[in-house]
A and B are shown apart, each in its own frame.
Chain A
């Protein structure tokens, strides 16, 4: 089982056996494909396609939401940051878990009770303005595309690491094939198929993470202090890895940058369109609540495992080896798996990482296509009078288009460091979506004008600040060992906004604009609509229920 492996970590070589990696991955694809096809029957109504017929239990949806949330950036990225910078990686992941409380306490139940398929449904129930629906659809599409691009570009690195494909055309072909495969899942399986893919992926991910963690801990006699001790001894930074500051503590700008990121992480989760859309796959708000608590357990325990894995990689692999490997810090976990369990464990971990990206692509694709078909096509172009069958057809076509855009974008962005796109997607979600969601649900005076100001203000300010930030141009110091700015030429520098993450400016600005747009609005808020919103949000009256009665 633990045969000798190539210890090569140089860019041009591969760890493990590509054939083994590939067969494990192919096994995942076949299993999920069979399931997607078998649930594909009776998948033609809008509720089936967008919301899986609202038949999933809270537990199932909780696991699927965890699957939707835990992308490769989490599985590979977080332990990687810990392996290099130690404590700062923990700092980073605390925001990811705490943000779920906002989803649970403020958003999940009212959202499930007042919407049907998309975020725009909720705003529309409250404000009844096509322009708000258009704005919400636009921000959903922008966030989804950011996410999709980040995942697909990450897939490129992984392909060359796992499958031993190194020629540029070969990697492109693999990205295209797997991207189309995922779009096929979405087309055939709809939300039901996508949800099952997420459930399977999340379960495999959880099991593998747990097994690797236990395996690692068995090396130190299940002693966490011993593990930390070994990690400190192996790191060139010594005990500094056990306290904050290695990555974010350099200067005032990097400190502010971290606070900005923290704000985006804790407020962003509740505005992520693919997380919000998942709330509609359960029969009622109670199951939505139950689901989110399961997600919190799953994601929380997962992150706790990644801490152990990160320090384990620091100890057993060492940061020099990690940074020089293909994919930089992202390779920490696969390399650790290789150290622990040899080729087989490496193959499994690598295949799981790859499957993670693919399932993620499916989840984001269905969200983006639903928003286009339901909000733009049915809501705006057909003024809510679209034939449901037509709407689903449009959703399938847009899934195809979104998937293609993801594949093309992924191929174009291959080799460019786009990992930061994920945290930026959080910042955009927190700035563009969260203020209008919270105001709609809880503020009686909120008007359509406030919503437009807040959505466009948040969307435009965050995107513009990103463009003029060091992530786009002019950054020299690499983050996580790989190249830094999107434009790598150091002579091109238009980064006048010093922070990598726009959250600290864009999020308060969007909340302020939502307030300002409302209080300066001559049209008063519709009191009857707010009454209806509030009664529905808290009691669930009028909410579309699922096929399963409770």
Chain B
């Protein structure tokens, strides 16, 4: 994590907003909202935030599409084309059993891949933005 080197300009929008005075309330607008609304807007307009948003979307959107399509492919084939699932791969092991096990494998792979990817690509940027918004305060 600490080894991550920022690859793009990181001095965007930093001066244009008021840092909030470290609010810890996460639901009430009265404290966090009005005082720092312009701060949130400014962060949202900053290039770092744009990057984090784009990166998040570029992983999560395809990953979600992939696993949902893959899962429903399994369900639809199992329900409407059970004959395909009966084709033997090796002895009693047929396509259906392999397909089922692959669903587990793909779930593990996406989860592990996301965790690793997020730690390297999202967390450093998120930390930087958070520190900026909280005015260097925080843990």
Contacts and interface: CB of A to CB of B under 8 A. Distances in A.
Interface of A: 87, 90-91, 94-95, 97-98, 100-102, 104-106, 114-116, 121, 124-125, 128, 224-225, 228-229, 232, 239, 242-245, 248-249, 255, 258-259, 262, 266, 286, 289-290, 292-293, 296-297, 300, 303-304, 384, 528-529, 531-532, 534-536, 538-545, 549-550
A225 B92 contact: yes
Contacts of A541: 20, 43, 129-130, 133-134
B4 interface: no
Given A105-B64, A228-B93, A532-B40, A258 B111 contact: no
Given A87-B96, A98-B67, A538 B52 contact: yes
Top 10 closest pairs, chain A to chain B, by CB: A244-B78, A549-B139, A228-B92, A243-B86, A532-B40, A541-B133, A539-B129, A245-B82, A262-B75, A296-B111
Contacts of B53: 534, 538
Contact of A242 (B32, B94, B108, B115): B94
Contact of B114 (A105, A121, A286): A105
A232 B88 CA distance: 14
Contacts, number: 185
A258 B20 CA distance: 51
A255 B79 contact: yes
Contacts of A303: 104
A105 B60 contact: yes
Given A228-B97, A529-B29, A544-B26, 5 more contacts: A90-B100, A266-B68, A286-B123, A296-B107, A296-B108
A535 B139 CA distance: 18
B111 A293 contact: yes
B26 A542 contact: yes
Contacts of A292: 111
Interface string B31-53: 01100110011011000010011
Contacts of A245: 78, 82
A549 B93 CA distance: 49
Contacts of B101: 304
B26 A248 contact: no
Contacts of B75: 91, 95, 258-259, 262
Residue among A94, A228, A303 with max Cβ neighbours from chain B (10 Å): A94
Contact of A528 (B41, B49, B64): B41
A242 B83 CA distance: 11
Contact of A243 (B25, B52, B94, B114): B94
Nearest to B123: A286
Interface in B42-77: 43-44, 49, 52-53, 56, 60, 63-64, 67-68, 71-72, 74-76
18 contacts: A94-B100, A95-B75, A105-B60, A105-B110, A116-B27, A225-B93, A245-B82, A259-B79, A262-B71, A266-B68, A289-B114, A290-B115, A384-B28, A532-B33, A532-B37, A539-B52, A543-B26, A549-B139
Contacts of A545: 24, 138-139
Interface string B95-139: 011001101100110111011001100110010011001100011
A66 to B, nearest CB: 13
A69 to B, nearest CB: 14
B71 A266 contact: yes
A229 B94 CA distance: 12
A531 B40 contact: yes
Contacts of A229: 91-92
A91 B43 CA distance: 45
A300 B109 CA distance: 12
